Every structure is written in C-alpha cells, then in structure tokens.
C-alpha cells in the first residue's frame, strides 16, 4: 500500500497531505542467485569522520552557544550545557581520567541512568580513548540476585564505575564489585573502596595530554561496549567502534537530510544503555549540531506525566520513541489542546522502533495532525540491532503497512539466506561490529563466510515480483518451533499481530508450545488498563481484575478476532491464559528494555503450561469450537 493512500484520511477520496520534510529515496540493486537474495543501495555512503567527537569539536566552533543538552532540575528549571561548554568539560574530564589506568581491558562502567553528568563522563572517556560501558540501572537497582550485573562485570572487568548517587547502589557494590574497583559519584560517599567525586574530574588537568589522547584515536578505537538485551541468552558485550557510530549517523543523515536543513531538537527519555537511545537518538543530535532535552519520564502510567510536562514546554523537530510511548502520547494529544499546540509547532518527523506500532494508534495520530495542522507528519521506522549500531534499514520505500522495515540505508549490504522455511537477514557494512568482547566463539558464530553479520531476524520481500519495494519483518528464527504434527509455527508474525490487536490491554504474549498438538497463548496483560476496563478501584487485586466478566469478555473477543483468518493448527489459537504474575527480570523472563524471553517463560512456567494443555486450569479462555 502506498504511503499516500494509507487509511486514516478524513476524506477517503482525497490523497493525504504531508508536512514537507527532506527524506531520502534510495534505489537498490537486487540479485538472486542460488536461493540467496542480495540487496545493496545504489547511493554510496559519504566519507566519515575518523571519530564521533570531531562533531563536538566542530559544533563548539560553529555553534558554540547552542544548547547541546538540557535537563530539568529539582526546582523545575532547565539546566543547559552549550557545545562550547561541553567540549571544555569533556577535555578536562578526559585529562583527569587518563590518570586512572583505564583501558578497554579495564573500562569505565556507568551504572546509573541518563543525566548530564553521565553524558559528560561518557564523552570524556571517549575523548581520552577510554572504552566505557553504560549498564542497565535495573541490573543494580531492581534485581535481587544481581546475576546480570555480575555477568556484565565478569565480562568487562571494569577499572572504575560511575554512579550519579552512590547510596542506592551500595548493595550492588558489595555483592558484585571487587574491593579494588573505585567509584566515581556525583553525590554520596562510598565506604571501603576508592572513591572519586565527580567534581574533582572538573578540576584543571593536563589538557595537552587529553588532546594527544584524542588525536591518537581513530575509526577502529573502541568507543564503548553495549550489552545486548539478553532476550534469548545472557547479554553479550558488543564492541562499538568509532567507525560504527560515525557510519550509522552518516546513514541517518543521508536517509533524513532534514537533519542538516534544521538542527534537530529532541525531547527524549530512551535509556542510553540501549543503542536506540544512546547511539541512535543522542548521536542524531551530536552529529547534526542539535539540542537534546533529557526527559526523565517514561511511557508508564506513573512516568508519562513528566514526559507530557516536558512536551508542553519544548517543541521537538522530530520525536522518536517506542510504540508504547506513541500509545500514551496519542491519548494525551487527543485530550490536550495546549500539548497539541506545542508538539506540532515544528515537528517534521515521527519515528518508532523496537516493536510494531498498531494501525489504530497510527491512524489516530494522522487524524489529530490533520485536524490540528491540516496535514500529516511522516511516520518512519526501520530495522536495527545493537550489533549494527543500530540501523540497517528504513521505511523510505513506497509502502506503509504493519511489519514493513523498508530498504537498506546507504552503506548497508543485505543478504537473505534460507534457514528452514524462512530467510535470515544478514548485514555487512562499516556500521557492523567487529565482534563480541572476550567471546571469540560467539563472534565466530555471528558471521558467515563472507563476513555478513547473521542477525537471526527473518525478513521477506514485500512483493517477490517487485523486490525494489523493500522488506518485511518475518519474526525471529530462534523463536519458531514445530507442533507435534510436524507443522512449523512462525512465532514472530503471530506474536506481533496479537500484541498489536491486543492494544491497549495486552503487554506481551508467549506462544505455546513446541511439540504440542495445538497453540495457546500466555498473556501478560496491562493490569492498569484492565483495571480501568473493569471499572474497579485502584486497590482492587490483580486476581479480581482478571476475573472480571468485562475483562474476560474482551479477551475472549480478542481471541476470536485472532482466529478469524486462521488456516490450520499453525495459526489457530485454542486457548489463552491471563497471567497475574509479571515476567521476572531475575529469572530472565524479561530484559530491562521489556523484551520477553519466550524460552525462559516456558521453562519457568512449565507446570502451568502443562496444566493448561491438560485442561486443568479453570480460568483459561478457550476458542469457540470450529464448525
């Protein structure tokens, strides 16, 4: 379906109008030999900087007083750091870090979340040629056994860790860190181990040594380690080089030339320990001389009020978030005229990643934009991964539909290789990692004989007769399984459709189960939304919410909708179970970014699954008998 003809226009007979924005239209070369399909952009990748912070140096000279980053303080005012001030702080911090004996072998680990000091010390390490690693705060603050934090530290062997406030991390320090590992903190003291105050890093140092260290870095220098989410195995440390970061930002710039026409202004909450927030979004601002307004909110019932507060004050030029963020924002935009006025004032580009966006949310966004602006705003997406820093494809092709991931960005080669009855996507280019840190076996397994990274994602052509139209997501190969009949189940598309059509009451699902006679669903519901659907008070128990007739009726209807077009056992769902217990991060059922580990859920809840297949769960919802 063409972008200009997608549903949602107020007048079905009229082509929708879009706000003007500069977006690339890459052509691709396609070849098909021995069942292997190759796709390569015609447009070459432009020359790259040798190191990402050349852009900081550039903007400090060209736009010295422009706000690089701003964060709201306790009194409600915004604290801003300009490009020239950030460069000065980064050089000073780099000079002081050089004396701590840090390196790729003993990197700097950042355990706390996004804030100005986090960015300053990260860029200071990068300037000094010291590898750093932003670690998920959940590993230290939410986990009870610290298993993932212990794994991270065993892989990294950090020389020093950074935290904003040391007090909440004391248990993690004592449980995981060797006594010789020092702590840098903005606030708080640390007993029993070396401690450095962040303020001391801003004291005058040997700037000539810092500049010499920066000059010694190059494209192959390790900028940082980023751990994968661990949705199928323990997290792996992805080596992220300067070349990778620069290549991906140049890919983005050639895909979205609008970033060069007007410096991007982002209001962004995405965590920097993940590639979407820390490499993609933060990099867009730094590479193009824009301004980054740090949003302390989250797309949760408790956290989104802060996001809305920020968006009522700051007008972004682009807004990039996950589908849950769009679900929360579209509700607010429908109800709040002040928010609409500020949000749409100069927005040119909308973007989602990490999961699929439901058609209903997309249509509502179009409708609000048309009513307020008289035109739609382009919604874009793509396919990315930590190992690709992160982007590989963007939806710059002519289609717009659920599951469409578009065409490869300049510099990215795509190869689709048969694996079972699917096509695995493999990628090659300057944005692809050299490997996993201290894991030669996993690195060897990650690449094929031609040096393509084997993503584990399945893709397919949107139209086999017109490959130039682009690619569709077809699930994760590792999640697929066979029923006892030998019928192959494609889990990814089934899961994506169920979650999208289950909005707003479905958080996630797990499809059951290998070697069984039929399919079932373990459903993690969004309990706050279900509570509102039931009309129950906030203190009503989760069990009471899920037993509510209105809630059960909605999920029964949802099950029937999912089965409406089912063709056989591989797509028909016979039952579903609503789970009151959320997925456990300690048991590996869910990653810190919210990705479900299907295998871990099935293993941990094996007894429950067995009872469901035996028909011994009285709370299960069953599909209607087929005529």
Sequence spans of domains, the chain: 13-48+246-474, 83-217, 480-622
d(CA 35, CA 241): 33
Q: Whole-model pTM above 0.75?
A: yes
Number of DSSP helices (H) and strands (E) in the chain, helices first: 23, 29
pLDDT given for residue 353 in this prediction:
85
Q: What is the pLDDT of residues 432-444, one digit of tens each?
A: 999 999 999 999 9
3-state secondary structure 287-353: HHCCEEEECCCCCCCCCHHHHHHHHCCCCCCEEEECHHHHHHHHHHHHHCHHHHHHHCCCCCEEEEC
Enumerate residues 6+ apart whose C-beta is below 8 A from 344: 369, 372, 373, 377
pLDDT given for residue 416 in this prediction:
98
Tokens linked to 594? 């919210």
pLDDT given for residue 482 in this prediction:
83
Residue of 590, 589, 563 whose CA lies nearest to 576? 563
Give the mean pLDDT of the chain: 93
Q: What is the pLDDT of residues 265-300, one digit of tens each?
A: 999 999 999 999 999 999 999 999 999 999 999 988
Which is the CATH superfamily of the domain at 13-48+246-474? Answer: ANL, N-terminal domain (3.40.50.12780)
Give bridge partners of residue 51 from the DSSP assignment.
none
Asked whether 277 and 271 are in contact (CB, 8 A), the reply is yes
Fold of 83-217: Rossmann fold (3.40.50)
Alpha carbons within 13 A on the beta-carbon side of 179: 2
d(CA 517, CA 468): 39
Largest Cα span, the chain: 80
DSSP state at residue 446: H
Residue of 386, 586, 605 whose CA lies nearest to 512? 605
CA angle, corner 193, sides to 187 and 199, nearest 5?
30
Q: What is the pLDDT of residues 368-411, one digit of tens each?
A: 999 999 999 999 999 999 999 999 999 998 888 778 999 999 99
Asked whether 498 and 485 are in contact (CB, 8 A), the reply is no
C-alpha to C-alpha distances, 173 to 176, 193, 194, nearest whole angstrom: 6, 9, 12
Which H/E stretch holds residue 412? none
Asked whether 133 and 105 are in contact (CB, 8 A), the reply is no
pLDDT given for residue 485 in this prediction:
79
pLDDT given for residue 127 in this prediction:
99
Asked whether 231 and 591 are in contact (CB, 8 A), the reply is yes
Category of 114 on φ-ψ map: left (φ > 0), alpha (ψ -120 to 50) or beta: beta
Q: Does domain 480-622 have CATH number 3.30.300.30?
A: yes
| Low-confidence residues in the chain, pLDDT < 70 | 1-13, 231-232, 593, 626-627
Helix extents (H) in 431-490? 440-446
pLDDT given for residue 13 in this prediction:
54
Give bridge partners of residue 428 from the DSSP assignment.
413
The residue assigned the tokens 């040798």 is: 50
d(CA 491, CA 494): 5
Enumerate residues 6+ apart whose C-beta is below 8 A from 128: 94, 95, 97, 98, 210, 213, 214
Strands lying side by side in the sheet with 318-321: 318-321, 349-352, 378-380
How would DSSP label each residue in 600-625? Answer: HHHHHTHHHHHHHHTT--TT-EEPPP
Decide if 13-48+246-474 and 480-622 have a common fold. no
């Amino acid at each position: 379906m063409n972008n200009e003809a997608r549903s949602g226009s107020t007048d079905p007979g009229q082509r929708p109008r879009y706000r003007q924005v500069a977006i690339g239209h890459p052509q691709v070369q396609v070849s098909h030999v021995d069942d292997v399909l190759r796709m390569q952009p015609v447009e070459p990748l432009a020359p790259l900087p040798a190191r990402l912070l050349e852009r900081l140096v550039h903007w400090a000279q060209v736009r010295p007083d422009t706000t690089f980053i701003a964060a709201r303080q306790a009194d409600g005012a915004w604290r801003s750091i300009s490009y020239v001030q950030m460069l000065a702080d980064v050089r000073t911090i780099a000079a002081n870090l050089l004396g701590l004996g840090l390196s790729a072998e003993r990197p700097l680990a950042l355990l706390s979340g996004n804030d100005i000091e986090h960015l300053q010390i990260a860029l200071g390490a990068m300037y000094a040629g010291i590898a750093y690693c932003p670690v998920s705060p959940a590993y230290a603050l939410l986990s009870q056994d610290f298993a993932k934090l212990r794994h991270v530290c065993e892989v990294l062997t950090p020389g020093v860790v950074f935290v904003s406030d040391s007090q909440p991390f004391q248990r993690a320090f004592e449980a995981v860190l060797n006594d010789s590992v020092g702590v840098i903190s903005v606030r708080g003291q640390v007993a029993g181990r070396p401690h450095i105050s962040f303020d001391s890093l801003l004291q005058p140092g040997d700037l000539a040594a810092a500049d010499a260290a920066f000059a010694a870095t190059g494209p192959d220098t390790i900028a940082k380690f980023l751990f994968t989410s661990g949705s199928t195995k323990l997290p792996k440390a992805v080596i992220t080089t300067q070349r990778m970061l620069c290549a991906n930002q140049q890919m983005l710039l050639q895909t979205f030339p609008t970033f060069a026409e007007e410096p991007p202004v982002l209001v962004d909450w995405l965590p920097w320990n993940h590639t979407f927030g820390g490499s993609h979004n933060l990099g867009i601002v730094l590479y193009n001389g824009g301004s980054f307004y740090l949003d302390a909110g989250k797309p949760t019932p408790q956290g989104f009020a802060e996001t809305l507060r920020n968006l009522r004050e700051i007008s972004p030029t682009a807004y990039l978030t996950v589908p849950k963020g769009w679900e929360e924002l579209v509700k607010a935009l429908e109800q709040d005229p002040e928010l609409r006025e500020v949000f749409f004032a100069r927005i040119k580009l909308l973007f989602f990643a990490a999961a699929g966006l439901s058609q209903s949310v997309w249509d509502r966004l179009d409708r609000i934009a048309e009513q307020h602006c008289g035109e739609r705003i382009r919604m874009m997406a793509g396919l990315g991964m930590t190992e690709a820093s992160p982007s590989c494809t963007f939806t710059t092709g002519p289609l717009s539909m659920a599951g469409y991931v578009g065409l490869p960005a300049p510099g990215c080669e795509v190869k689709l290789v048969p694996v079972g009855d699917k096509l695995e996507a493999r990628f090659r280019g300057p944005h692809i990692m050299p490997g996993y840190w201290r894991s030669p076996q996993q690195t060897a397994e990650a690449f094929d004989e031609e040096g393509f990274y084997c993503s584990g994602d399945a893709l397919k052509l949107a139209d086999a007769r017109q490959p130039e139209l682009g690619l569709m997501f077809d699930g994760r190969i590792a999640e697929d399984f066979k029923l006892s009949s030998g019928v192959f189940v494609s889990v990814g598309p089934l899961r994506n459709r169920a979650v999208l059509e289950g909005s707003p009451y479905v958080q996630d699902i797990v499809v059951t189960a290998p070697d069984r006679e039929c399919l079932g669903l373990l459903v993690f519901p969004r309990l706050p939304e279900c509570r509102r659907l039931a009309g129950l008070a906030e203190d009503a128990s989760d069990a009471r919410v899920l037993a509510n007739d209105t809630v059960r009726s909605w999920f029964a209807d949802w099950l029937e909708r999912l089965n409406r077009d089912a063709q056989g056992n591989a797509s028909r769902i016979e039952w579903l179970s609503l789970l009151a217990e959320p997925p456990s991060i300690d048991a590996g059922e869910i990653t810190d970014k919210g990705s479900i580990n299907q295998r871990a859920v099935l293993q941990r809840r094996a007894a429950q699954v067995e009872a469901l297949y035996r028909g011994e769960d009285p709370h299960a919802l069953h599909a209607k008998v087929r005529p």
